[in-house]
Chain A
Amino acid sequence: MSTTEVSPAAALPGETHQPVINDFTIQVATINGSGSQTANSVLMRALFQMGIPVSGKNLFPSNIAGLPTWFTIRASQHGYVGRKKEIDFLVAMNPETAQEDVLKLEPGAAVVYDEPLKLNALRSDLQFYPVPFDKLVGPVCPEARLRKLVRNMIYDGVVAHLLGIELEEIRKALLKQFGARKAKAAELNWGAVVAGRDFAATNLAKTARFAVQRMNGTAGKIIIDGNAATALGCLFAGVTVVSWYPITPSSSLVESLIGYLKRFRIDQETGKATFAVLQAEDELASIGMVLGAGWAGARAMTATSGPGISLMAEFSGLGYYAEIPAVIVNVQRVGPSTGLPTRTMQGDILSTAVLSHGDTKHPMLFPSSPRECFGMAIQAFDLAERFQTPVFVMSDLDLGMNNWMSDPFDYPTEPIRRGKVLNAADLDRLGGFARYKDVDGDGVGYRTLPGTHHSAAAYFTRGSGHNEKAGYSEREDEYMNNMDRLARKFDTMRAHLPPPHSELNPNAHVGILCAGTSRYAAEESRDQLRREHGLETSYLRLKAYPFGKELADFIHRHERVYVIDQNRDAQLLLLMRLELDPDDIAKLRSVRYYGGLPLDARTLTDEIVRQEGF
């Protein structure tokens, strides 16, 4: 046993004796495929159940098993749920990365590690807690082949003891994780937690600077990942046709959706499905099926990521030009090309906005939270049918695949609206219709669905030039009229898309502007700028493209506006430049991060401070 190795027991230089309460980040470094996900989720959930705001981020490799993976849990009494760069508490289980992980820590951090790794020799300004995992796992898990999986639960017990996480909450979280059907597995894992706790209580001095205290910051909240939230939105939007091709990080969205559909959308009387889900051969086919289904009147969707979006380019242009409703969820990952498939980025903003050749433009929604994933999925279907065009929901890996604390979702208050669709009775009354005629002045024509029993219902849909009556046309005037109407339709959308979230500070000369998941770092950075530099800022978070008038209004009110981009080329800023006046453009400054990790506040603060010249 290694009780004497606990070092140093005395206070570290500069250490305060008052522990930091509910404000720290735990990082667990393990090996992909070692079953650490359960241990990490349980730890996160236990903190959540103690009322402490938490967020969890899984940093994993593009690999099935064997490569390093890190899971960070941030507890924040202030409710900050963005990534924090500094790690306060490391659990080092992976021999391959342990040394580097330890060397990167700030002085004063704590390290729980697998004893044989002998990490305590590396530095003297950290607190080390060696744990003999292999020795401890034997007695609690007699079956050797399960030990690899159960082993990780031991650190939950150790960390619970060192930080003061209530063991009963760990147990509750564990039982929830495994569910009633896996009660035996839950008990096996619980044995490992207790073994870890007992070892720590007997052998490790509780000297960490960080501690947990029960608070009331999570009452009524749920924990869910963004992909599941989007899937729930699709379910309650009344999606009927889903076609998809598996790609990280979007696969879990459709897999969640399949689960929900099977559960809630089997016809009670007949036992038949009120939905069709088809795994296509590639993204060309998945978008093709979605357009075919949307054309025939279904609420149809697909989910994909960058490489899939690239493959969907040609069909997206057809959807735009032939005016077919479709919902495409783009769970963005790091490009170009295959890029970093398991890392996050807002890398497709520009390419999606103008996806396809010719003058093509697409509306985009930018969810920033599970609640917005849910709400915007529903809105996306309404918008797609109202404006008869593909709508892109721009999620990202950080939002889609990580677990988030969230307020519960609200049941939709508006009925499902199917847009301008004429049925046989309408056609009797009207005598006929012209598919692409702008009857109402909003740029949106009326359509009929195939199968409508009326001799005036049919029209011919094509990606080639067409006139108001959907007839083939190469005429200059008819082509231009049609393109101008499409531009008018795009303009009409501006007033119907979700407006930005705005926080105007009358004392601020500086504005901060972002979209999607950049919000967490942006909101925390605003607090840092105020607290550390006395810099007051206003804040605008965009929720949709094309932008509304709120964007220009916000820029007018400020001297400088920092536009936050999670990509190298300032894509959000460039998209704004396409629509803004030169005076407004001159006020824009770019803050970018493109390392593939979820954006953190300190990175933003440092860059804004640099540009402000403090």
Chain B
Amino acid sequence: MSTATLPPKKTNRIGLEVLSYKGGKTTLCAGCGHNSISERIIECFYEMGVEPWSVAKFSGIGCSSKSPAYFLNLAHGFNAVHGRAPSVATGAIMANRNLFAITVSGDGDTASIGIGQFIHMLRRNVRQIYIIEDNGVYGLTKGQFSATADLGSKLKTGVVNELPPIDCCVEAIQLGATLVARSFSGDKRQLQAILKTAIAHQGLSVIDVISPCVTFNDHEGSTKSYSYMKEHDEPLHELDFVPSYEDIAVEIEEGEVREIEMHGGGRLRLKKLGRDYDPTDKMNALRVLDEAEHQGHVVTGILYLNTGKPHLAELLNLVDEPLATLPEARVRPPREALDQMMEELR
């Protein structure tokens, strides 16, 4: 035993094993879509070589909001109050603009109690990845509808939703998020590509991930079930993210693939599927979402991408260093400043 040579441990480009990106053991239900999303986060942060201690995790309240405890144990986490993670994350990013922020919220947390903070976060283009683990129901309180539940969707108890849903992606595109995507927790490849693009994006990424609730919303008549998604998922494109450190030249057939350079390094490659979708066209994105809603499809992929807009820390013209740890000499004006003020008030 002791003499046997162990195979070399696999590490990423900053020399960390995937273990450094793992979290605590999940307490969510077996088969919950949220657990798949946590796994994708672990894989993508590992593969992209993000320093885990530079990450700050935020969440609100609900099943989704427990999940930051299940990935990136080496990152600080903040489980805030219901629907208010955006303000906490915004404050933390103002305090330290170098933090790599990821917020995990749910459909109730974002679209019901938290809609106000969600919308104002969009306006500010706060640099972070904001994931909505969207299952259309409240799990911890045992299966009530949330504001993203589709019209006509049926609860296990037979209650039918008679109110139209809030489409968080429509809100995000209209109000200022600079990367807006929709995915399905069961689509590993697509979600990975979106997450990696979001990691490289210098702005707010809103990713609405349909993540079925196996306990309260995975039955016949639900529009957020695994089977419903398998039948109605309509990917806009085949996505691939090529990180800057893996810059391989690929033969591209004219008109088949779009490429977008990301400010944080790397390229997003979008391969045409049926139609040629341009994610930089805001009005088209809104039209496609509107059509899909009427046709009963769930379009997934990167719906909208704008790499040219300043994020909050840039808008605030903050110094490059974190405000939180500036030395006294830079935050307490000198005695002469107070003397001058006193003189003016005499």
Contact B332 A449 (CB under 8 A): no
Q: Provide the residues of chain A in CB contact with B94, threshold 8 Å.
A: 241, 243, 276, 278, 289, 292-293, 298
Our pick among A222, A235, A298, A458 for the contact of B53 (Cβ within 8 Å) is A458
In B313-346, the 8 Å CB interface with A consists of 313, 316-320, 322-326, 328, 330-333, 335, 337-339, 341-342, 345-346
Contact A411 B338 (CB under 8 A): yes
A459-B76 contact in complex given A291-B88, A298-B324, C-beta closer than 8 Å: yes
A550 CB-CB contact with B under 8 Å? no
Chain B facing A: main interface SS: helix
Of chain A, the residue at the smallest CB distance from B100 is: A451
Our pick among A267, A285, A293 for the contact of B117 (Cβ within 8 Å) is A285
Interface string of A501-527 (1 = CB under 8 A from B): 000000000000000000000000000
Interface string of B22-59 (1 = CB under 8 A from A): 00000000000000000000000000000111101010
B90 CB-CB contact with A under 8 Å? yes
B87 CB-CB contact with A under 8 Å? yes
Q: Provide the residues of chain A in CB contact with B95, threshold 8 Å.
A: 240-241, 276, 292-298, 300
Q: Closest approach, in angstroms, between the C-beta of A266 and any C-beta of chain B?
A: 9
B144 CB-CB contact with A under 8 Å? no
Of chain B, the residue at the smallest CB distance from A453 is: B53
A267-B96 contact in complex given A232-B341, A293-B91, C-beta closer than 8 Å: no
Of chain B, the residue at the smallest CB distance from A449 is: B324
Q: How far is the CA of A222 from the CA of B344 in the complex (A)?
A: 8
B92 CB-CB contact with A under 8 Å? yes
Q: Closest approach, in angstroms, between the C-beta of A388 and any C-beta of chain B?
A: 14
Q: Which of A223, A314, A449 has the most CB of B within 10 A?
A: A449
In B180-206, the 8 Å CB interface with A consists of none
Q: Provide the residues of chain B in CB contact with A289, threshold 8 Å.
A: 87-88, 90-91, 94
A274-B88 contact in complex given A318-B81, A458-B75, C-beta closer than 8 Å: no
B74 CB-CB contact with A under 8 Å? yes
Q: Provide the residues of chain A in CB contact with B332, threshold 8 Å.
A: 236-238, 412, 416
A275 CB-CB contact with B under 8 Å? yes
Cβ-Cβ contact count across A and B, 8 Å cutoff: 226
Q: Provide the residues of chain A in CB contact with B119, threshold 8 Å.
A: 281
A614 CB-CB contact with B under 8 Å? no
Our pick among A265, A282, A314, A448 for the contact of B81 (Cβ within 8 Å) is A314
Our pick among B52, B90, B330, B341 for the contact of A292 (Cβ within 8 Å) is B90
Q: How far is the CA of A415 from the CA of B52 in the complex (A)?
A: 33
B228 CB-CB contact with A under 8 Å? no
Q: How far is the CA of A8 from the CA of B93 in the complex (A)?
A: 70
Give the contact-size bracket for chain A.
35 or more
Contact A288 B330 (CB under 8 A): no
Contact A240 B91 (CB under 8 A): no
A461 CB-CB contact with B under 8 Å? yes
Q: How far is the CA of A411 from the CA of B336 in the complex (A)?
A: 9
Q: Provide the residues of chain A in CB contact with B75, threshold 8 Å.
A: 450, 458
B99 CB-CB contact with A under 8 Å? yes
Contact B92 A236 (CB under 8 A): no
Q: Provide the residues of chain B in CB contact with A285, threshold 8 Å.
A: 84, 86-87, 90, 116-117, 120
Q: Closest approach, in angstroms, between the C-beta of B17 and any C-beta of chain A?
A: 12
B161 CB-CB contact with A under 8 Å? no
B73 CB-CB contact with A under 8 Å? yes
Give the contact-size bracket for chain B.
35 or more
Contact B79 A464 (CB under 8 A): yes
A303 CB-CB contact with B under 8 Å? no
Q: Which of A289, A452, A453 has the most CB of B within 10 A?
A: A289
Q: How far is the CA of A296 from the CA of B264 in the complex (A)?
A: 23
Q: Closest approach, in angstroms, between the C-beta of A261 and any C-beta of chain B?
A: 10
In A295-333, the 8 Å CB interface with B consists of 295-300, 314-315, 318
Q: Provide the residues of chain A in CB contact with B335, threshold 8 Å.
A: 411
Q: How far is the CA of A226 from the CA of B79 in the complex (A)?
A: 36
B77 CB-CB contact with A under 8 Å? yes
B257 CB-CB contact with A under 8 Å? no
Q: How far is the CA of A294 from the CA of B92 in the complex (A)?
A: 7
Q: Closest approach, in angstroms, between the C-beta of B340 and any C-beta of chain A?
A: 9
Q: Closest approach, in angstroms, between the C-beta of B116 and any C-beta of chain A?
A: 6
Contact A288 B76 (CB under 8 A): no
B289 CB-CB contact with A under 8 Å? no
Q: How far is the CA of A467 from the CA of B197 in the complex (A)?
A: 37
B98 CB-CB contact with A under 8 Å? yes
Q: Closest approach, in angstroms, between the C-beta of A287 and any C-beta of chain B?
A: 8
Contact A264 B330 (CB under 8 A): no
Q: How far is the CA of A281 from the CA of B80 in the complex (A)?
A: 18
Q: Provide the residues of chain A in CB contact with B88, threshold 8 Å.
A: 288-289, 291-292, 295
Contact A472 B120 (CB under 8 A): no
Q: Provide the residues of chain B in CB contact with A449, threshold 8 Å.
A: 76, 96, 324-325
In A449-481, the 8 Å CB interface with B consists of 449-455, 457-464, 472
A276-B346 contact in complex given A285-B87, A411-B338, C-beta closer than 8 Å: no
B213 CB-CB contact with A under 8 Å? no
Of chain B, the residue at the smallest CB distance from A268 is: B330
Contact B316 A453 (CB under 8 A): no
A267-B80 contact in complex given A280-B120, A284-B117, C-beta closer than 8 Å: no
Our pick among A270, A290, A455, A457 for the contact of B319 (Cβ within 8 Å) is A270
In A197-241, the 8 Å CB interface with B consists of 220-224, 232, 235-241
In A402-419, the 8 Å CB interface with B consists of 408-409, 411-412, 415-416
Our pick among A236, A237, A280, A416 for the contact of B87 (Cβ within 8 Å) is A280
7 interchain residue pairs of minimum CB distance: A292-B91, A288-B87, A297-B324, A289-B91, A298-B95, A238-B331, A450-B76
Instruction: List 17 extra interface pairs beyond A272-B318, A272-B319, A273-B316, CB under 8 A.
Output: A224-B345, A238-B328, A240-B324, A241-B91, A243-B87, A275-B323, A282-B116, A289-B94, A292-B78, A296-B92, A318-B81, A408-B345, A411-B335, A450-B56, A459-B77, A460-B69, A463-B79
Give me 10 A-to-B residue pairs in the complex whose CB atoms sit less than 8 angstroms apart, sorted by A's number. Answer: A224-B345, A238-B328, A239-B331, A265-B333, A278-B90, A278-B124, A284-B87, A293-B324, A294-B91, A451-B99
